Every structure is written in C-alpha cells, then in structure tokens.
Amino acid sequence: MKNEFKIIINLLPAQSRVLDVGCGDGTLIEALINQKDIDARGIELEENKVKQCISKGLSVIQGNAETELGQFPDKAFDFVILSQTLQAFYQPENVLNELLRIGKKVIISIPNFGYWQVRTSLLFFGKMPITKSLPDSWYNTPNLHVCSIKDFYQFCDKKKIKMDRIIGINNEKISSINRVNLEMKNLLSEVGIFLIS
Amino acid sequence: MNYKIENIKQITVTKPLKLDCGQTIKNFPIAYETYGKLNEKKNNAILIFHALTGDQFVAETNPVTNKDGWWNTAVGPGKAVDTEKYFIICANVLGGCMGSFGPKNINIKDGEPYGLKFPVITIRDMIKAQESLLEHFGVQKLLSVLGGSMGGMQLLQFCALYPDKTFSAVPIASTASHNAQQIALNELARQAIMSDPLWNKGNYYKDKKIPKNGLAVARMAAHITYMSDKGLQERFGRKLQEKKDYEFTFDADFQIESYLRHQGNVFVDRFDANSYLYISRAMDYFDLSKQFKNGLVGAFQKHKTRFLIISFSSDWLYPTKNSKDIVIALNASGANVAFAEIKTDKGHDSFLVNEPEFLETLKGFLDSNFEIFKNEK
C-alpha cells in the first residue's frame, strides 16, 4: 500500500464514519474496515473500479463527485477523504466546500507542484514536469488545477479553513508541515496531506 | 392457458390479510418454487421477486411452459446466484396466474372465477401475502433479496416493511415510484386487453375464448419498451422477413414485426389477461415515498440492510435516474448503499439476458456479502 494511505489510516480514529471520494478499486476503504473497524463508504466515477469495489463487499456508489455530493446530508461523515483528485475537478473550490459540508473533517492530499523536481523540469528543461505523482503528459493529464502545498496552504488561510495537520511526503520520509517550515517543505515534499475542518 | 397443478408447490396463507383497498382476504394460496438447499444455519436463503409477467420458476426448466426459467442466465449451479451455495425462494405474486391467488381462481361464494370481482391489489399487498413463506422455511433473516423491474419494487417494499428480515438487497432496473410514462405504458397495455371484445369485462374463463388479440398487442407494446433503440436496430434494422422485397400488404414484411407478433402469440398461452390488468395496476399504485412521513428517506431510516442498486445505461423504461433517486434517498438516510450503472445496449431486459458485467457485479456482491453475513452470526 502506498505511504499516503498508511498516513491517512493513522490519522483516522477507529469506528468513525468515513467517505472516500474517488476511491478507485477500494484499497483504502478495505484497509480502513479491516484495520480500524471504520464504517467506510466510497464514490467512484469509473464503472470498472466500482465493480471491483462491489465484489469486495464495499459500499461504493458510481457517481461524479463534482456533481453528486449534494445527496449527502450535512456532517454525514466524521471524515471525508479526497486523495490526489482535487486538481482534476472543473470547480475544485465548489467541491471543497461540499466536502467540508458533508464531513466534520476533511483529509485532502495534493501532488505538490512546488516539489523541486517539478520546478527544475520547467526551469532547466522548459518542459511540463513528469514525476511519480504527476505521471501524465500535458496533453493527456486529467489535472486541470494543479497547485503547490504553499498555494493550498494560503488558500485555506484566505478562506478561513482550519488546518489541523499538514504532512509532507518525500519518498519514504514523512514530516510535519507548519507556517515556519512551509517554504522548505514546499520544495522537498512530493505530496502534501492536509487535515482540515 | 392450462397447467398441471401437480407441478406447482403452494402454501395456504391462513392469517387474514387486510388489503390496501380495504378488503380482507384469508386462506388463500401462494405458489412458490425453491432451488438449492437451505443450510443448517439457515443463513444462505435468497428471496427473489419476479417482474410483471414472471412467475416462481426462476431457474432450470419451467415445468409448465417447458421453457427455461425466466432468470436462467443468473440463477443455477455455478452461476451468479449459485444454487450450489444458496437456497433460492421465489413466489408467484398475489394476483398472478401460476398458482397464487388471482382473478382466475374460483370464488367459493358463487363457484365462478373471480374475474373483475377479484380485489384490486398493491405491491404492499403482494409482499404481505408472501411473508408467510419465510416462516414456512424457518428463515429468520435472508442473506439477500433480489428483484428486477417490478421485482425491484417488491424488494423495496419488503425492505421498508421488514427491515430486519434481510442482510442485503439488490433492486435492479427498478423504481421507488411509478412515473407518468410508466403508468401511461401500462394503461396502453390494459386498454389493448379491455378493447378486445372477448375480454368481456373480465368474464371469459367459462367458454375459454380468451382475449388473445388484446393480450398479444399488450405484450407487443410492452416488449418494445424492454429493448433499446440501438439494440433493436442492431438486431433487426430494416431486415425483411424471409422475403426479398416489400409485398405491399400489411403482413409482417419486416423482421421486427414478425418478432413482435411471435412474442405476443407465445405470451397468451402462458398468461392470464386479467392478471395482467391487476398486476400492472399494482405497479401504477406503487409510490413508496407516500407511505412515510419523510418520503423515501423515511422508508430506509436506521436500516442496516446492505443495498446494491443496479441500473442499465440503455434502459429507458426504468432509467438510471429512477435508480439514482433510490441511491440518493438511501444516502440521505445514512443507509449502506452501493450503486453501479452497467453500460449496455440491451435496454431494460439487460437483467434477463447474458450481460457479463452485470452478472459479475451481482455475483461479487452476493459472495462477498455471504462471507460478511456468516461472520456476523
């Protein structure tokens, strides 16, 4: 399992109610149920992945998070997870507002566009970066609104969204991010995980 | 239509049942069939609800028509609903014509078939009438309930009435409320039957001159709604029926005409016209949201049942929108719900034909839920 999922599992208390938005083949949901007895649900766009989830006995609905989160009542979940998908929505701000409405807390991870490899790709080669967490070319990437950890940090600040924890991942290394080390971590983290409310 | 009664299993429901129309019935027969074996722990039972023109003969060979059971694609040894693993129960609905209490039964009051004296029934009445079957088999909690189309409506009604009697539920290509178009299409079918002079206000059993033409037209119209535009076009297109050119008559020049006529003709041999009226009426009256203060959300409040809702992309009779409304209500009430829309050109009938994506999804859901159910006990 990827490092990011391990961190997310650690962040979540046992037996909580969780919605995984864009849950893929259900790897994270399955781990949450098995390891922490969490009541985990999911929503996923791709029919094939939904089928895989259902075959594992997971409660996953096929649907588009951009338009279909409205069906969940306010604070329906203790936590809502959005793993490296925010940048693929047409209106990420609207989606984020919906996540904060239906979840008491939200865990969002973003592929960091401020990562040094991304910066050097543009600086030295003049080409759109291709990295482990941004693997697609400019012409076929699903990412419409990429941002850096610093961008998202400032966005939360501006919108008065409370940041309970921020974690940076660089390969196997995990570190806590705060106002003081933000510039450095923005350079060194490939992925950022935000626990917000 | 006649059938050999010895091929039909029945229970007699002795408990009086107050119908939604106000009348009370008792000591009436409900016909059923089972497949597979009930295990010792009695935790492998699945109740299947049939659609408008279905019956209790889900799998194997239907002993009355000698054709395949209506859900033979899904139910059988090693199939999606595996009869080597699960115990399958299916009842003929109240109002039906395959051994359950219906309009062609004899009214002991006058020794005549009921005909239109049979009370108008609802989906809720059908479910209450079938409930005794669980007692009959000593099953306290079913592993699952399954149903497509009207079967899905019965399933939702079952879950709303008896939330603790099933561990999981799979409504397929169905709806929680019949809409204007669905009512309109049923009305078209009923008018076709009732405008056949042989229908004779429902009184046709005696001299056995049944309203074949009306019933056949009803079936033809319905059959079109079970298929998609693309499915029809691919299968029939403008192909001619065993001829090289138009004949400039009103005989069946086109293959699709011939096909529909055939579907109409074989149907009248196995189905009672009055049953069609009564059952289609029950579908039209179905609106689960009306039964609860909070609407559809109220129907599933505090439910622990694990739902899988399935729809088909080319189904225009019970489109994905209908299924999504169920999903939305279930989510709003905090129920446990999975949902998949299967991409297919096979229209509403997708759940009855060999549609691998659908059958794999159903199998995966049942098998994984059986494991969870077993461990829960």
Task: From chain B, pick out residues whose CB is under 8 angstroms from the CB of A47.
Answer: 340-343, 357
Q: Are A59 and B306 within 8 A, CB to CB?
A: yes
- Provide the whole-model pTM: 0.94
Radius of gyration of chain B (CA): 20
Confidence of residue B1 (pLDDT cuts 50, 70, 90): very low
Residue among B336, B360, B369 whose CB faces A51 most closely: B360
A–B CB contacts, 8 A cutoff, strictly below: 65
* CA B183/CA B284 separation, integer angstroms: 5
Look at residue A1 in the predicted model and tell me its pLDDT: 77
pLDDT digits (tens, 9 = 90+) for B165-193: 999 999 999 999 999 999 999 999 999 99
The strand pairing partners of A105, in sequence order, are A79
* C-alpha torsion sign, points A163, A145, A66, B331: negative
Quote the minimal CA–CA distance from A72 to chain B in Å: 5
* CA B186/CA B190 separation, integer angstroms: 6
Provide the ipTM: 0.90
pLDDT digits (tens, 9 = 90+) for B226-261: 999 999 999 999 999 999 999 999 999 999 999 999
Contact B311, B341 (CB under 8 A): yes
Confidence of residue A19 (pLDDT cuts 50, 70, 90): very high
Q: Are B339 and A71 within 8 A, CB to CB?
A: no
Q: Are A50 and B340 within 8 A, CB to CB?
A: yes
Confidence of residue B151 (pLDDT cuts 50, 70, 90): very high
> How far lies B178's CA from each of A5, A96, B73, B189, B218, in Å?
44, 36, 27, 15, 18
Q: Within an 8 Å CB–CB cutoff, is residue B332 touching chain A?
A: yes
Residue among A51, A53, A71 whose CB faces B328 most closely: A71
Q: Are A55 and B360 within 8 A, CB to CB?
A: yes
- Residue tagged active-site, from B82, B125, B144, B149: B149
pLDDT digits (tens, 9 = 90+) for B327-369: 999 999 989 999 999 999 999 999 999 999 999 999 999 999 9
Q: Is residue B191 classed exposed, middle or buried when 0-12, 13-18 and 19+ CB atoms within 10 A define those classes?
A: middle
pLDDT digits (tens, 9 = 90+) for A144-156: 999 999 999 999 9
Chain A: residues touching B (Cβ < 8 Å) = 41, 47, 50-51, 53-63, 71-73, 76
